[in-house]
Structure 1
Amino acid sequence: MKRFPTLASLLLCALLPLIAHAENAANSCAEVTVDGYKAPDYACLGQQMGNTPNAAKATQKNREAQIVPVQKRPPNQVGLSTPATTGIRMGNTFGTSVKPQRP
């Protein structure tokens, strides 16, 4: 009777790595090595990254953050000239002549 618990514990210890490997295999993606270069499965990685429950909310917030009203955009994004760009274009004639130093 003394051998049964010892045998059961040894068997359990031998099976634990296999059980842990089976759980990780279900959640991991396969990597292929070709000529020494590793090539991960990008479709699997993308699927793992996209399985978040808040993905739709995050996508909506990102779209809202990218939409900036015209009156709040910087002048160079709207196509207006700023004093810095005008100064660079006019060069040393800025404020003294209507002809720019640089075209």
Structure 2
Amino acid sequence: MKQWMRMTAGLGLLLALPWAQGEEAPACIEVTVGGYKTPDYNCLSRQMGNDPQAAAAAQRAQDALNVPVNERAPNSIGLATPAATSVRMGNTFGTSVKPQRPPVPANNSPLPK
């Protein structure tokens, strides 16, 4: 009787196995054109999308992008910084309102006038 119960339980497990695995994603197809392999990136992304921590990581990334304007760095919102202004003004930074410009080159053309 015990042997009969074990066989029945084993048979039941074998029959339930295909349904226990769930739905499998279709295999990704690689296409070769002219000697170059091109994988299906959408399929690969779907396969990699089963990460349980992905939602939390996506939320952290979204929060990082939504920093209030008053907390952003000045150069990220287009404001002038002292470093950028000193590069633009050259050695006249703090002494003149006109930026430093290189001297006008002399016209030393090899072509005759």
TM-score range, shorter chain: 0.5 to 0.7
Counterparts in 2 of 1:1-103, with a 5 A limit?
28-101=27-100
Question: TM-score, normalised on structure 1?
Answer: 0.59
Task: Indicate the structure with greater helix content.
Answer: 1
Q: How many residues align?
A: 78
Change (3 A) 1:56 1:91: same
**TM-score scaled to structure 2, two decimals?**
0.55
Q: What is the Cα-based RMSD across aligned positions, in Å? A: 2.4
- Distance 1:34-1:79 versus aligned 2 partners, 3 A rule: closer
Change (3 A) 1:42 1:80: closer
- Structure 1 residue 87 displacement after superposition: 1.1
- C-alpha separation in 2, matches of 1:35 and 1:46: 25
Report deviation, 1:64: 0.8
CA shift at 1:48, angstroms? 0.5
Partner Cα distance (2:31, 2:82) in 1: 55
Query: Percent identity, aligned pairs only?
Result: 65
Greater C-alpha Rg: 2
SS in 2 for 1:101: coil
Unaligned runs of 5+ in 1: 1-25
Q: Where in structure 2 are there 5+ consecutive unaligned residues? A: 1-24, 102-113
For residue 27 of structure 1, report the CA deviation from its aligned partner. 7.2
Q: Deviations over 1:9-48 (max 9, x none)?
A: xxxxxxxxxxxxxxxxx67422222221112122211210
Q: Determine the C-alpha separation between the residues in 2 that align with 1:44 and 1:71.
A: 41
Q: CA deviation at 1:63?
A: 0.3
Determine the structure 2 residue equivalent to 1:4. none
Secondary structure in 2 matching 1:95: coil
